[in-house]
Amino acid sequence: MKITFLGAAGEVTGSQHLIETDGRRILLDCGLFQGHRAESFKKNCRFAYPAESLDAVILSHGHMDHCGNIPRLYNKGFRGPIFCTSATADIAEIMLKDSARIQDEDARYLSRKLNEKHPPIEPLYDEEDVRQVMKQFERLDYHEWHDLGDDLRVRLLDAGHILGSAIIEMKIKDRGEWRHLVFTGDLGRRDLPLLRDPDTIEGCEILISESTYGNRIHEKASDLKEELYHILDEAYRVEGRVIIPAFSLGRTQQIIYYLNDLYNENRLPHIPIFVDSPLSTRLVSVYRHHLQDMDQDVSDVLKEDKDPFGFSLLDYVSTRQQSIELNKREGAFVVIAGSGMCENGRIRHHLKNGLEHPENTVVLMGYQAEHTLGRRLQQRDPKVKIFDRYYQVKAKVVQLSGLSGHADVEDFKWWYETSAKRGNIGQVFLVHGEPESATALAALIRDEVDEEPIIPHYQQSFEV
């Protein structure tokens, strides 16, 4: 069996791993590379294999760096099945349609900026590619072995990363011998709101494991609800705005769930809360449809509360005009909007109108990449540029980091130790991590696995 690492190798984007046997060619994930425009487009527009030669894609979850290039695969001739959980299929449809729309808008904008001799800017795919490729999705239940031919069996375990995320377990026949391979996808954390803890495995022959935070310990998620309470309580007293940039998938739903908890506990200050993100609103509908895939805490809440994503103080903003009107609103309120790093979307308008007022608070809820507006706010720059104008940062800026969906050092240690007790773990390949994170994780797990962990390079292949 041959494994070729075609993305998320030595980096944390573009997840794509090709498994080849004497009878099968299967792709694990098909994510978008995200980064510098020219470099990313070059990687995203070409595949290292004929798309039509693939037998199947098995998808771990609906984040764009894992599913975002599947329509391009269809555009280039792939017509095989795409296996994933039901929630992932629903999430992927929304995320891919949004991606196609953004690519079209970007292509139109850039085409207007370029001179006439420049080659036309083309999106990677369009909405019709998304509509067609969604017909190829096949939904698999968690925890059941699915026979996908006489030489392939697949089981999806809960990865605990986002709704619908899966650890992919494969038994695949190669030259008459059954091989046992596991791909963690993005491994989640224990005790996150909404999500079940990651499942462990019963050993395997080959393990492809993420390593994003193999050298870091996260803050506890349970502390974040109390921190939110204190921020909202202060905003209520000083009549300030709370502006929360949040990723549309996962982070926004977790914040709403915590605020709903505070409401049910009669502790939420009487302050209006607005979710100003059409994408987040569409994704909330998926969460409502898949409540059965969430943790025991959600089941307990549902005994008394039929909707963990709705309460009287919460409104979902649907139109652009409603969003504009929020910026004219007086008094205390909360607005949750995308994007999480403040680089685009409606959040930039809320920041433009709110940063220069000292009674307001900006709450950063996750990692802020270098050179983003979110990073400049995080490092307390005295002024920041939004829409070609500088604004003084007089609002209070708070960083809350308890909701990262990736396993940290303690989670990895627990997961590997528990899995190794259930069965031997053979050769491990560490992907989806910067080199220092992967190297640290390799040292951490060395005693739990049979072979020295390997950190593959981009496009590197291994015979196993």
Whether residue 210 is found in the same domain as residue 62: yes
Q: What integer is the mean pLDDT of 272-282?
A: 96
Edge-first strand listing for the sheet containing 333-337: 314-316, 273-275, 333-337, 241-245, 361-364, 396-399
Q: How confident is the model at residue 214, as a pLDDT? A: 96
CATH number, residue 286: 3.40.50.10890
Distance separating alpha carbons of residues 148 and 146, to the nearest angstrom: 6
Calculate mean pLDDT across residues 99-113. 83
pLDDT band of residue 221 (cuts 50, 70, 90) is confident
Indicate whether 367 and 415 sit together in one domain.
Answer: no
Q: According to the model, what pLDDT value does residue 140 have?
A: 98
Indicate if the pLDDT at residue 106 is higher than 90: no
Report whether pLDDT(280) > 90. yes
pLDDT in tens, 9-53: 999 999 999 999 999 999 999 999 987 777 888 899 999 999 999
395 and 317 in a common domain: yes
What domain range is 40 assigned to? 2-216+405-463
Phi, psi (rounded to 5 degrees) for 102: -65, -40
Same domain, 227 and 211: no
* d(C-alpha 221, C-alpha 146), whole Å: 34
Task: Return the higher-pLDDT residue of 28 and 116.
Answer: 28
- 438 pLDDT exceeds 80? yes
The predicted model scores a pTM of 0.94
Looking up tokens 């549309």, which residue turns up? 248
Whether residue 223 has pLDDT greater than 90: no
Share of the chain above pLDDT 70, in %: 98
pLDDT at 115: 66
Residue 119 pLDDT > 70 = no
- Note whether 414 and 292 are same-domain residues: no
Q: Tell me which of 380, 399, 418 is where a domain ends.
A: 399
Model confidence at 441: pLDDT above 80:
yes
Among residues 156, 175, 96, which one has the least CA distance to residue 130?
96
Of 362, 379, 399, the last residue of a domain is: 399
Question: Are the C-beta atoms of residues 64 and 31 closer than 8 Å to each other?
Answer: yes
Give the model confidence (pLDDT) of 346-398 as tens digits.
999 999 999 999 999 999 987 787 788 999 999 999 999 999 899 999 999 99
* Mean pLDDT over the full length of the chain: 95
CB neighbours of residue 118 within 10 Å: 10
pLDDT of residue 113: 67
pLDDT confidence band for 117 (50 / 70 / 90): low
Same domain, 51 and 107: yes
Asked whether residue 445 falls in the same domain as residue 311, the answer is no
In this prediction, residues 253-277 reach a mean pLDDT of: 97
Looking at the structure, tell me whether residues 250 and 369 fall in a common domain.
yes
CATH code: domain of residue 177: 3.60.15.10
Q: pLDDT-derived band of residue 56, with 50, 70 and 90 as boundaries?
A: very high
φ/ψ bin of 287: left (φ > 0), alpha (ψ from -120 to 50), beta (otherwise): alpha
Are 112 and 186 within one domain? yes
Same domain, 138 and 275: no
Q: Are 255 and 287 in contact (CB under 8 A)?
A: no
Number of domains in the chain: 2
Q: Among 72-76, 167-171, 316-320, where is mean pLDDT lowest?
A: 316-320
Of 369, 399, 429, which marks where a domain is finished? 399
Residue 118: pLDDT band with limits 50, 70, 90: low
Q: For residue 109, what pLDDT is reported?
A: 75
**375 and 228, same structural domain?**
yes
In the chain, what percentage of residues exceed pLDDT 90?
Answer: 88
pLDDT digits over 392-427, tens only?
999 999 999 889 999 999 999 999 999 999 999 999
Q: Are residues 257 and 116 in the same domain?
A: no
